[in-house]
Chains A and B, each alone.
Chain A
């Protein structure tokens, strides 16, 4: 598994992401600057890390979503290449046209930074094979714009085609109410593209890979990818 982590001005989670990828794959990922026009040859997985690309100017992810490297990322995804966007990376995937919908300001207008339970909606994708369907995992969230919105038709399609990857839930796996930290439609924390080779999610699995920081529930995602 050869991974490339794309770095934009204002990205700040690329180090955490590289650590998680290194741990799972045994291989150092390439860090690729946004102004490049090609991915390193042999790239299997493209990762857009978290942060505040371009200072969140205009809309979160809007400017990064149109950066030079994104044509190569879109081509990689169109070929069926694995593509992961976390937090700002999810916003960039939506703004860049790789995933539908948009991440809006949290409904309570607060930046939320806390541990959060998620329900794994399906365990048959390249990203989730090392989890069980319906499993509840605990990871970190840290965002001000994670409120997933899309038109009714898009939401119906995501639900109907099984493209919801993770939902916010409580420790017992129950969705709704206080368990939803940002007002996302249908408690959506992450979604897949139609072919399930692109995943965007707001939570940070890359920060839960070491018992030293309180949990390793994020490892499953990287170990699934390493085996893909």
Chain B
């Protein structure tokens, strides 16, 4: 089973990297960019075909390691059955 975990900074947390990217886009002439927030994507292969179990495992993975919940939110997408 394939899954994707998306980790993003919580709103209100300063993101200096996102700000630098925003500045770089402006200097490259990419117009109309109102803001950039940088996050992380994890593509994960899981054993078995039980979606509920996969969801539970991924939630544990996020809470234990993939996200620092002080500053980050996570989303889990299970992509194939």
Contacts of B65 in A (CB 8 A): 58, 62-63, 66
CA–CA, A168 and B17, complex, Å? 23
A59 touching B68 by the CB < 8 A rule?
A: yes
Shortest distance from the beta carbon of A186 to any chain B beta carbon, whole Å? 14
Q: How many residues from B make CB contacts under 8 Å with A?
A: 11
Q: How many residues from A make CB contacts under 8 Å with B?
A: 20
Secondary structure dominating the interface of B: helix
Contacts of A100 in B (CB 8 A): 70
CA–CA, A151 and B65, complex, Å? 20
Secondary structure dominating the interface of A: loop
Footprint of A on B, CB under 8 Å? 13-14, 16-17, 20, 64-66, 68, 70-71
CA–CA, A149 and B16, complex, Å? 13
Footprint of B on A, CB under 8 Å? 58-59, 62-63, 66, 95, 100-102, 104-109, 147, 149-151, 183
B70 touching A107 by the CB < 8 A rule?
A: no
Partner of B20 from A58, A59, A102, A109 at Cβ < 8 Å: A109
Q: Which residue of B lies closest to A106 (CB)?
A: B16
CA–CA, A58 and B14, complex, Å? 18
6 smallest CB-CB distances across A and B, nearest first, come from: A102-B70, A105-B16, A102-B71, A109-B16, A107-B16, A109-B20
Contact status of A58 and B66, CB under 8 A, knowing A104-B14, A149-B13: yes
Partner of B14 from A95, A101, A149, A150 at Cβ < 8 Å: A149
